[in-house]
Chain A
């Protein structure tokens, strides 16, 4: 058992901390600050800040240096995830590009794609959207109907994607498109890299139950994309998508733990302020959530160990997702229990509750996106436990 990081990893932590300390204004720690900026300005500030961070060498932590990454260890990536939360660093604006697209391009992209996609992505010159879900294809991804018809050296794309993160800020979208006419289910799909700044693409914001509009819908009406802008083989988009989604598997959950644990401590402070911290029922509920949070921390150490030992976590990633997302949702349920009959009010005892309510509403989404809890349970039951399909 060795729960420490190496000297080089701790040195990396110090460097990163110093940079973050020097480059994050104190007011960024207050949720009101970001709200006062509005969606547009907030996105721009985050986009620029993240570019500066990349230029300082704090991006693509575990990516090979040949792609502009830092060439760091999985431990450094875990430290990065942890320190970013501790420092109140803004959330990335290019999550889908960084987590999914870049490693897929490194694995199967053409040389041209590697050159054109990865560098600009790291510097936030291109914001990437993921075009998977459609009105008729949520959990059932193979039901997509967006189609691409070959026209000379282009595909002409028509259809609709929905619940697309950063839709209105997106520059390009990696989209699952049915390029073989009449094909069914997993066959005949291609992963096309579509320029969103063209007349045939219309991105509209969707207002979420939280009131924010981080996602949207993307309409394709004879959008053009060169056939060379296909990631993986034409017609093999399902295989590309499965590879792409597999890059979530190395994620340990340590970033989530760090964030949620801080939220737990904030909720505990609210409980004390309202005198609710002595209520035995509230104490029991908080302790139940804390138990799951600590398990998440240990699970993150387990995942990091497996990655460092060079083992593929395979479908175990579903467990990581279930543990963090369900626990996060439970945490915010308990927040309402702490508030009791005042749970829905904007303010209580001089406390502005709205930023917390925003977290609480957000927690309803995490058990849906990226594979709903029901899908994760199916995967766990069938692929890990071996129960029949």
Chain B
């Protein structure tokens, strides 16, 4: 039995976190949040994603990737969530996954090496259909290519016209895309589309888990020092018990995201259940943890100047992506209750 990250996977995690701490900290995030007219796609961060293998993780070695699995990808997603990092990492990884799982040999040869190196930005959505309008696509505005529904399958669409959509989560950018017909991905069966949705769901759940853990860690650190009534507020049981429960909840969500990633990759029988458990749990706990981050910082936590709102707003947006907690619970009910 080994249900944990390997040393290599831990190193990958430290590398991403280390980079963000040194080179793209919360001040840099603030720069992106406050410059709402910008494309939310910092060049330095993108360069690192390409150079350090964050984008190459899931791309097969024959296409210049690292040939790793969803477990490694969720490690990266979690680290990026913890850093509330902006940029089209997940969008590009998911577009690449679509090409890997459903693309022709030519499409794979044309796109995968570029995605792996950061030479092309991708986007992926299952909302709307091409040709037509694809609503609120994550980083659709900077994508060189978007993978979208088309008929019963998927298409690769270049040259879509983007109209930015404002969002209170300033750590990402969204855009409506007016997409042409594009070219079909020949392997996009219903099963492949479902697997891509599962992969997207796991990566979003992992981001939420990273956000939630960081929110708790920062709140604990603050409440250890912040004094009221002559004592640290973290010595009050009302706060201790809430943070203890959140710690348990976030730990469970960490387990759930890790297991879901493995279950999808290993095609375990309970993968659909595992994915919904991960997303339902991560969505709820991230909103709770980031809400608690505001509450247990008190007044300062409600200010624009404080970073709590980056975490809360990112959690709120991602909690609703790829199925909110309630919709995944309905899926869990369908999978575990008699007809």
Contact = CB atoms under 8 A, between A and B. Distances in A.
Most buried by A among B2, B237, B266: B2
Nearest to B4: A305
A377 B2 CA distance: 28
A381 B336 contact: no
B224 A387 contact: yes
Interface string A363-389: 000000000001011101110111111
DSSP majority for the A interface? helix
Which range holds the interface residue count of chain A?
Answer: 35 or more
Nearest to B220: A385
A389 B259 CA distance: 35
B333 A295 contact: no
Nearest to B280: A291
Contact of A387 (B235, B280, B330): B235
Contacts of B47: none
Interface string B107-146: 0000000000000000000000000000000000000000
Contacts of B262: 1, 3
Interface stretch (A49-57, A105-113, A281-289): A281-289
Nearest to A381: B240
Given A283-B337, A374-B241, A1 B277 contact: no
B329 interface: yes
Contact of B255 (A78, A287, A298, A389): A298
A192 interface: no
B261 to A, nearest CB: 9
B281 to A, nearest CB: 6
Interface string A257-300: 00000001100110110000100100110111011101110110
B223 interface: yes
A89 interface: no
Interface string B188-212: 0000000000000000000000000
Given A291-B280, A294-B273, 14 more contacts: A268-B338, A287-B280, A294-B256, A295-B253, A296-B252, A299-B251, A301-B259, A305-B4, A319-B248, A323-B252, A374-B237, A377-B241, A377-B245, A386-B220
Interface of A: 1-5, 75, 78, 264-265, 268-269, 271-272, 277, 280, 283-284, 286-288, 290-292, 294-296, 298-299, 301-302, 304-306, 308-309, 319, 322-323, 374, 376-378, 380-382, 384-389
Interface of B: 1-4, 71, 216, 220, 223-224, 231-232, 234-235, 237, 239-241, 243-245, 247-248, 251-253, 255-256, 258-259, 262, 266, 273-274, 277, 280-281, 326, 329-330, 332-333, 336-338
